[in-house]
Structure 1
């Protein structure tokens, strides 16, 4: 397996004994260097999408506004191998937003799984001070741990003394909330007001769990003071809350340079392939002196799961674009054998550069830490627009089940957003830790058992 030559020399990932001996040193160096860039955000002044234009994604994030606390806006990337701050930055942003929500404000949360005691404490405290909280999750995960039961019981105890409009409620959906089968898989956090901010929307790949902090690489995007984005996300949440099939076809709703699109998905061509269909591998760029040059379009993909016909379609599109000359890379946790075969085929330019990110920490043959984000980042010719950028994030694996699930996808056209994601994906590609050396007997484990600790949803 080779790394693509993106400013570094392409090299074969060796599993030699010498590489294993160097592994512990490399893991330490990787953890330090990943922690150095794990938080990316933008100052609150940029969050409203006003006249400030682009933003240097490498600048230090700001969580403070002149008149009080503000959530960190923009993308946040966590690192389960880093410091506690690097592991927890996404849930910290969510929980601090809960803690700073004032009386009479509203909080709406959707998560597939829920197991985080301090989030429960923060939500109960918010309801007690007069915040109206609506919380929805997948029914099949609601019995895992005590947090959902404790949250629902606390809300019910308080609700008896309050009118319906002021009650906080925690509930589940029978299957998918907006469809007919599947599951509630959205990860979305909405705040009408928190600190000095209003109309705050967050979405991405993390569930509200300890796993999301300590064992998964995730991303979470936050917009602040964006009323139209917030109101649209709120309307989707209301559809989740009603737990009735919603016949809306797949549409990306654009608000300037930010777009949102909920699933279930009813299109013939999946949501990832339809974006890749727009890509040309030759990007003509005009320089500052007026000269024109041609460069290759770059595609960086990272998703926990590629499987079924959706995964095969995405893999075939990546393979085709790779053969046409695009710079392509894919990081993943798990591929089915069909997807793997498409990507590793020796035809054309050879195998597509792929990189598994699943880490066996203690050498017992079972993966402990793993990639959980779901991101596509493109720079080049997109829809006959030269030098264009696009990032797609959200909660959806590139798998058949996602067609039926409740999911939220985010789309971003601003260059600074692309560079934030691109730099993080580059860093992960180059520095993701190696697995520990397998203990005696661990190699006999069936492949499926190696994923026993992996929560891919």
Structure 2
């Protein structure tokens, strides 16, 4: 395993939080739709018996999965993957979780049950969102339940949920990662999971998200655990990037490092591809939010590749006018739907993925395959926040799955750059039956906070 460390960190500045976190983090909250836990879930009795013990033969499948908010059987696919993994963690093992938002009664119950059967469950969540949750919501329920029964455990095996002042490993921004480390589930060990979705009901049923799983890989697991232990201390630290075989992990804050998206796109050559029809390298991009000069740099690179002959497609949720102008004329679609005749941000369906796939001439190979899966929007705030970026190379199946998923979203997306919308209109000017957003006043800042 090759580790790459950044330059030494300077003193931590805590005061950036309030203004910075409110912009350009992503679009995963929509927590108001989650409601509150039922009384039985919110405060289950200490004597609650877990109905089904973990299955020692259960196998956690590696690879990538997606959810689809319009298709009932695929809406909760990522959530089900997480639940099955957690349900089969036996006593004495550990779960380590980082999520920008935890707001799901169903998921909270599964993690509480794991703690009660002797699993060490430790969760880090963004402070602002944790403080915004009232009685009965996931954070206070988890905090109370995970505190019980710790006295008899070694300190390292106690359970808890806590927050960081801002970015756990940086000096600004926020804790925006979405990942889970599990020491063992069933017959599978060293499980490292990550993706674009938070641990919320909205992420499960309202967003297009991805979730990747790496199993039986102690080097990747230990490398991610290094990051986790740094985050737990809530101190400014150096950037952490390392490569294990064909998997590169890049944890923000990045500081002066190369942009993860540009790291992949700079390796692309548009002609001479041996694994796609016509020899044109296929570039498929699904990133929810593009902003600031950082997003513009990525956009200019994408435009350069399109001019050089690459087969490019883009799906997104939001981007600035400057970036839309850079990408003007390219096949780019805005995926945002609403339910019903009037807009309601808690019923929106939208792209929340944050990555890309390349099939073709990339990384020095004519038959190359690369996937970037991430929690990070292409914004300056993402650069300074806790984020994970994972680059998978030479995985033809994953690259094909990601590219096909982008194509599926592209076919279903209602808007292009030419009819981009900033707003859903709560006053009813949306034409009934169109299921498209209205033309103005979309709560951009609120969705960015999510």
TM over 0.5: yes
- Asked if the contact 1:372–1:456 (Cα under 8 Å) also holds between the matched residues in 2, the reply is no
Distance 1:373 1:456 in 2: 16
1:92 to 80, 83, 107: 80
- Asked if the contact 2:125–2:175 (Cα under 8 Å) also holds between the matched residues in 1, the reply is yes
What is residue 8 of structure 2 aligned with on the other side?
A: none
- Asked if the contact 2:274–2:361 (Cα under 8 Å) also holds between the matched residues in 1, the reply is no
- Asked if the contact 2:273–2:281 (Cα under 8 Å) also holds between the matched residues in 1, the reply is no
What is residue 203 of structure 2 aligned with on the other side?
A: 212
Distance 1:442 1:429 in 2: 22
1:381 to 361, 375, 381: 361
User: Do structure 1's residue 341 and structure 2's residue 325 form an aligned pair?
Assistant: yes
Q: Write out aligned runs for 1:253-402 (5 A).
A: 253-267=242-256, 269-283=258-272, 285=274, 295-344=279-328, 351-366=329-344, 368-402=348-382
SS in 2 for 1:218: strand
Q: Write out aligned runs for 1:187-202 (5 A).
A: 187-202=178-193
TM-score, scaled relative to structure 1: 0.77
TM-score, scaled relative to structure 2: 0.78
- C-alpha distance after superposition, 1:158-197 (max 9, x if no partner): 2234342331111000000010111001100111011111
- C-alpha distance after superposition, 1:335-356 (max 9, x if no partner): 1111011111xxxxxx111000
What is residue 232 of structure 2 aligned with on the other side?
A: 241
Gaps spanning 5+ residues in structure 1: where? 1-65, 288-292, 345-350
Shift of 1:389: 1.3
Gaps spanning 5+ residues in structure 2: where? 1-54, 416-420, 432-436
1:131 to 119, 126, 142: 119
Distance 2:66 2:174 in 1: 25
Shift of 1:296: 1.6
- C-alpha distance after superposition, 1:268-305 (max 9, x if no partner): 65221232222221225499xxxxx9722111111110
SS in 2 for 1:76: strand
- C-alpha distance after superposition, 1:234-275 (max 9, x if no partner): 111111111111123x63x22222221111112365221232
What is residue 65 of structure 2 aligned with on the other side?
A: 76
- C-alpha distance after superposition, 1:197-246 (max 9, x if no partner): 11111000010001101210100001121221111111111111111111
Distance 2:448 2:57 in 1: 37
Distance 1:68 1:163 in 2: 28
Q: Given the superposition, is the C-alpha separation of residues 217 and 453 from structure 1 closer, same or farther in structure 2, using an over 3 Å criterion?
A: farther
Q: RMSD over aligned Cα, in angstroms?
A: 2.6
Q: Which has the higher contact order (CA 8 A, sep 6+)?
A: 2
User: Do structure 1's residue 418 and structure 2's residue 399 form an aligned pair?
Assistant: yes
Distance 1:120 1:312 in 2: 38
What is residue 89 of structure 2 aligned with on the other side?
A: 101
1:164 to 155, 160, 170: 155
